[in-house]
A = this chain, B = another copy of it.
Amino acid sequence: MYEDLKYWYLRDHKLFRTLSYSQIKQLCIITGFKKASKGEIIYFSTSDVPRIFLLKKGNIKIVAIDDDGNETIKDIIQKGDLFGELTLESDNKNEEYAKVLSDDVAICSFLMSDFEDLLLRNPTLALSYTKFVGLKMKRIKNSYANLISKDAKTRLCQFLKDWAEQEGVRDGNAVTIENYLTQNDIAQIICTSRQTATQLLNEMETKNLLSYNRKEIMIPDITKI
Contacts and interface: CB of A to CB of B under 8 A. Distances in A.
A130 interface: yes
Interface stretch (A8-16, A83-91, A157-165): A83-91
The interface centre, meaning the residue of A120, A140, A141 with most chain B CB atoms within 10 A of its CB, is A141
Interface stretch (A21-29, A144-152, A194-202): A144-152
A191 interface: yes
Given A119-B123, A120-B123, A148 B147 contact: yes
A86 B148 contact: no
Contacts of A145: 72
Contacts of A65: none
Interface string A162-191: 000000000000000000000000000001
A131 B72 contact: no
A191 B91 CA distance: 27
A120 to B, nearest CB: 5
Nearest to A86: B134
Contacts of A121: 123
A88 B144 CA distance: 21
Interface residues of A, number: 33
A17 interface: no
A153 B149 CA distance: 18
A138 B96 CA distance: 14
Nearest to A64: B145
A117 to B, nearest CB: 10
A127 interface: yes
A129 interface: yes
The interface centre, meaning the residue of A119, A136, A137 with most chain B CB atoms within 10 A of its CB, is A137
B124 A120 contact: yes
Contacts of A127: 88, 116, 119-120, 126
Nearest to A87: B134
7 contacts: A87-B137, A120-B127, A122-B123, A129-B130, A130-B130, A144-B147, A144-B148
